[in-house]
């Protein structure tokens, strides 16, 4: 299988989400499947597709200069800052996406874990039947099915959406920082309690390795892990002019707008 590889880049939250949706549209139009790696210009709190803006402490986010954006994918809130994010986009008929959501999620997770293990850390995957804390508003509160954990603590969180036969999965790998900080930006009854829970249930790659990793080096190992596990050949690619134009339109008309990000 031959996939496009969009190399590591950095953008704000609205642009990152517009790029992901544009890549989904490109695959839907008959383009090659895609793997993309990216980072965030400044802290950004992303909401799952169905989450209400009411869970966000917008005053604190403004004070902290955190961007707020809504994802295409489901799940719960994530604070993106010092992290590596990946996106995979392919048709449901692609070998790595067949068998439904759980089967594809597990398959991709095995490839991600293989890449991270190349860095020299021992990882686990949660059981397929596992479920996270469904009452929580924060993604990293507890691991969900087939997610990657280090010594019992969630290391990489992912989410998936399927539209017109196309699958988009993206995920967040915290490289460093305080995994409990997101609690400051959420309207919960006890922020201190949520912070403690997150710090007990989640971790960063710096903690797992004992030193802060280089994002580009981590991306390369994940690419190799996915390639070897899923039998994919990745070919470096750039965004086309048409894609760049689509990204700008989506960013300006959707991902920076209250009708999308502020949905109740």
CA angle, 215 as apex, 212 and 220 as ends, to 5°? 125
Per-residue confidence of the chain (264 residues) as pLDDT tens digits? 799 999 999 999 999 999 999 999 999 999 999 999 999 999 999 999 999 999 999 999 999 999 999 999 999 999 999 999 999 999 999 999 999 999 999 999 999 999 999 999 998 777 655 555 545 677 665 556 678 999 999 999 999 999 989 999 999 999 999 999 999 999 999 999 999 999 999 999 999 999 999 999 999 999 999 999 999 999 999 999 999 999 999 999 999 999 999 998
For residue 6, CA distances in Å to 79, 101, 239 come to 23, 24, 8
Q: Could you confirm whether 89 is annotated as catalytic? A: no
| Residues 127, 124: Cα–Cα separation, whole Å | 9
| Options 44, 89, 96, 139, the catalytic residue | 139
3-state SS record for 20-54: HHHHHHHHHCCCCCEEEEEEECCCEEEECCCCCHH
Q: What is the CATH number of domain 2-261?
A: 3.30.930.10
Q: How far does Cα 262 stand from its chain's mean position? A: 20
């Amino acid at each position: 299988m031959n996939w496009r590889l969009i190399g590591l880049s950095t953008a704000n939250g609205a642009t990152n989400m517009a790029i992901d949706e544009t890549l989904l549209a490109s695959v839907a139009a008959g383009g090659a499947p895609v793997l993309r790696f990216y980072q965030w210009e400044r802290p950004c709190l992303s909401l799952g597709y169905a989450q209400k803006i009411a869970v966000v402490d917008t005053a604190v986010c403004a004070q902290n200069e955190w961007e707020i954006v809504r994802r295409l994918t489901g799940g719960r809130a994530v604070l993106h800052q010092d992290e590596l994010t990946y996106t995979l986009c392919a048709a449901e008929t692609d070998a790595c996406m067949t068998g439904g959501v759980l089967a594809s999620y597990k398959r991709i997770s095995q490839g991600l874990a293989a890449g991270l293990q190349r860095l020299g850390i021992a990882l686990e995957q949660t059981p397929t039947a596992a479920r996270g804390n469904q009452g929580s508003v924060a993604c990293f509160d507890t691991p969900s099915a087939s997610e990657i954990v280090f010594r019992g603590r969630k290391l990489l969180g992912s989410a998936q959406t399927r539209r017109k036969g196309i699958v988009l999965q993206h995920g967040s790998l915290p490289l460093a920082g305080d995994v409990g900080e997101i609690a400051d930006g959420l309207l919960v009854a006890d922020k201190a309690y949520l912070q403690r829970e997150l710090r007990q249930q989640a971790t960063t790659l710096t903690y797992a390795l004992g030193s802060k990793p280089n994002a580009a080096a981590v991306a390369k190992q994940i690419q190799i892990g996915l390639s070897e596990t899923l039998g994919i050949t990745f070919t470096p690619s750039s965004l086309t002019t048409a894609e760049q134009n689509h990204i700008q339109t989506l960013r300006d008309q959707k991902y920076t707008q209250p009708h999308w990000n502020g949905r109740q």
